[in-house]
Amino acid sequence: MKKIFIAIVAVGFITAGFAQDKGSVLIKNGTVLTVTKGTLTDTDVLIKDGKIAQVGKGIAAPQGVRVIDATGLFVMPGIIDAHSHIALDQINEGTNAITPEVYTGDALNPFQLSIYRALAGGCTVSHALHGSANSIGGQSQTIKHRWGTYDANSLKMEGAPRTIKFALGENPTGHGRRDGTQPQSRMGVEFVIRKAFNEAKEYSAKWDAYNKAKLVKGFRGAPPAYSLRLETLADILSGKIILHCHSYRADEIQMLLKVCKDFGVTRVVFQHTNEGFKVAPEIAAAGAMASVFADWWQYKLEVYYSTAYNATILTRNGVVTSINSDSPDLIRHLYHEAGKTQKYGGLTDDEALALITINPAKQLGVENRIGSIENGKDGDIAIFKNHPLSIYGVPQYTLVDGIVRFDREKDAGDQRIMVDPKQTVDATMYETGHAYDFCMSGTEWLFEEVENNKK
């Protein structure tokens, strides 16, 4: 991707200071794409204190509640991206093969414009994933795009389950090949994961024994050494953390399924899954899920064998499938990405919309909160002019917890929250660099070394 000039036309009105706030709003007379309960025409959606309170016809606006006239517009659940790296100051702690103790929730940056741009594409929730530079990367955070907050922690979707990033294939061998440490091959990746899981089992056993012994009156003894790393791995084994695994090839997908089976890990989501179409029945049988690109591949050898029918094949085989962005650009038009599955595979509207709403919600373990328009769910809504799966679909409003965080009419050129007082002002500004947050961010040096060694 080449650098993009962003022309900034005017100083924007800065929406600030309502972090974690909940709003109330009545959306009148729209075509409501509930995703799970069909499409309802001329229907109102009432959001009270951040939650969907009522979906139906002729709802009267409670006193003081803003009304959005959605006549002729399409109302859908806020789009969810199960694989993204926006809003992160750091993406990879790629120095060690096993770093489950690190946590992207520590590096959230609420001032990144990419959050606002995602909102402008109807996307209300994303999965701020650790990168793929190591076999067991960091714990990740499901975030709500509460643009305008100054509190990094208020981006966190309260109550969302813990998740963690694993990575297979070429990416996680970079540091090993550079430093002469493990892993340097696909075999090595499997080995370091199994080794880590075994250590975690031993760790749990030691602590269980200690905690049991402590119950005996008069017990005196040394506790086992504490390790945040092993404790986190043990939490994966005990099912407290959903495993999200960067993967491309069918063989490595099979490998991880086997490892998870051996260690009793059941909550697994494959990320990218480019060859998922080859092993869709196996993924479905294991109860695993898949998050894929619509049509993005061949950027390296291991993603050569791919198809735009991937999402459809996985869906038709009963795999809960989502389409993700892994990019601050694609995150702005995931509705287009979902629409591609209608061209390649002929998914129905609801099936295609599920790829960017209820299915990623399931993959993040938040399907009871978001992903469809139902009573009691969070007031995360995207309102489109024209159908979102149409090439003419354009987001008009995006709401998070019932608060309008994007309004196309009020969209101004300069949306920055924090301004650098030392910036040099040019007539046009280079993009701030957030377009380049990607899986292997911050690890380019690993590959430079590897390339240099080859020469």
Partner 1 sequence: MRLRPFIPILLFMLIPLGLLAQDEQELSPVTRTYAITNVNIIQAPGRKIDMGTVIIKDGLIKAVGKGIAIPAEAIVIKADSMYVYAGFIDGMTRAGVTRPKEENRQRPKDPGNPPPDQAGITPYADVRFSINPGDKGLDDLRSVGFTAAQIVPYGNLMPGQAAVILAGGKSADQMVIQGRSSMYSELTGANNVYPATLLGVMATWRDLYRNAVQAKSYDALYASNRSGLERPVSDRNLEAFYPVIDQKMAVIFRSERLLDVNHVLTLKKDLGFSAAIADVKDAWPIIPAIKSAGVKTYLSIDLPEEVKKDDKKKEAAASTPAQQEKEALEKRKMEAIQNYAAQAAAFQKAGVTFGFSTMSAKTKDIPANLRRMIAAGLSEDAALAALTTNPAQLLGLSDRMGTVDNGKMANLVITDKSYFNEKAKVRYVFVDGVMYKMEVKEAKKGDPNAKVELEGSWSTVTESPQGRAEGKLTFKKEGSGYSGKVSGGRLPSPVDLTEVTLDGNALTFKYTMSFGANTVTITGEVTVEGDSFKGTLSFGQNRTTPIEGTKDPKN
Considering only residues 3, 4, 16, 261, which one is a binding residue for partner 1 as defined by CB under 8 A? 16
Which lies closer to partner 1 via its Cβ, residue 436 or residue 445? 445
Q: 184: which 2 tokens?
A: 């340097």
User: Using the rule CB under 8 A, is 425 a contact of partner 1?
Assistant: yes
Rounded least distance, CB 181 to partner 1, Å: 5
Considering only residues 2, 63, 218, 226, which one is a binding residue for partner 1 as defined by CB under 8 A? 226
User: Using the rule CB under 8 A, is 8 a contact of partner 1?
Assistant: yes
d(C-alpha 210, C-alpha 182), whole Å: 32
User: Using the rule CB under 8 A, is 227 a contact of partner 1?
Assistant: yes
Return the residues of window 168-207 that contact partner 1 according to CB under 8 A.
175, 179-181
Which lies closer to partner 1 via its Cβ, residue 111 or residue 147? 111
Q: Using CB under 8 A, which of the segments 25-33, 161-169, 227-235, 329-337 binds partner 1?
A: 227-235
Rounded least distance, CB 152 to partner 1, Å: 5
Which lies closer to partner 1 via its Cβ, residue 14 or residue 67? 14
User: Using the rule CB under 8 A, is 97 a contact of partner 1?
Assistant: yes
Which lies closer to partner 1 via its Cβ, residue 47 or residue 230? 230
Number of residues engaging partner 1 in binding (CB under 8 A): 60
Which lies closer to partner 1 via its Cβ, residue 70 or residue 97? 97
User: Using the rule CB under 8 A, is 153 a contact of partner 1?
Assistant: yes
User: Using the rule CB under 8 A, is 228 a contact of partner 1?
Assistant: yes
Return the residues of window 17-46 that contact partner 1 according to CB under 8 A.
17
Amino acid (one-letter) located at 154: S
Q: Using CB under 8 A, which of the segments 25-33, 216-224, 240-248, 345-353 binds partner 1?
A: 216-224
User: Using the rule CB under 8 A, is 428 a contact of partner 1?
Assistant: yes
Considering only residues 316, 442, 447, 450, which one is a binding residue for partner 1 as defined by CB under 8 A? 442
Considering only residues 39, 109, 307, 390, which one is a binding residue for partner 1 as defined by CB under 8 A? 109
Residue where the block lists tokens 């009156």: 217
SS3 sequence of the chain: CCCCEECCCCECCCCCCCCCCCCCEEEEEEEEECCCCCEEEEEEEEEECCEEEEEECCCCCCCCCEEEECCCEEEEECEEEEEECCCECCCCCCCCCECCCCEHHHHECCCCHHHHHHHHCCEEEEEECCCCCCCEEEEEEEEECCCCCCCHHHHECCCCCEEEEEECCCHHHHHHHHHCCCCCCHHHHHHHHHHHHHHHHHHHHHHHHHHHHHCCCCCCCCCCCCCHHHHHHHHHHCCCEEEEEEECCHHHHHHHHHHHHHHCCCCEEEEECCCHHHCHHHHHHCCCEEEECCCCCCCCHHHCCCCCCHHHHHHHCCCCEEECCCCCCHHHHHHHHHHHHHHCCCCCHHHHHHCCCHHHHHHCCCCCCCCCCCCCCECCEEEEECCCCCCCCEEEEEEECCEEEEEHHHCCCECCCCCCCCCCCCCCEECCCHHHCCCCCCCHHHHHHHHHHHC
User: Using the rule CB under 8 A, is 235 a contact of partner 1?
Assistant: no
User: Using the rule CB under 8 A, is 246 a contact of partner 1?
Assistant: no
Q: How many Cα atoms are found within 13 Å in the side-chain-facing hemisphere of 68?
A: 30
Considering only residues 95, 185, 348, 375, which one is a binding residue for partner 1 as defined by CB under 8 A? 95
Rounded least distance, CB 83 to partner 1, Å: 18
User: Using the rule CB under 8 A, is 211 a contact of partner 1?
Assistant: no
At a CB cut-off of 8 Å and minimum separation 6, what does 64 contact?
none
Considering only residues 121, 138, 183, 345, which one is a binding residue for partner 1 as defined by CB under 8 A? 138
Considering only residues 18, 429, 431, 438, which one is a binding residue for partner 1 as defined by CB under 8 A? 429
User: Using the rule CB under 8 A, is 130 a contact of partner 1?
Assistant: yes
Return the residues of window 403-422 that contact partner 1 according to CB under 8 A.
413-414, 416, 418-422
d(C-alpha 105, C-alpha 156), whole Å: 7
* Residue ranges in contact with partner 1 by CB under 8 A: 7-11, 16-17, 89-90, 92-99, 101-104, 106-107, 109, 111, 130, 138, 150-153, 175, 179-181, 220-223, 225-229, 413-414, 416, 418-423, 425-429, 442, 445
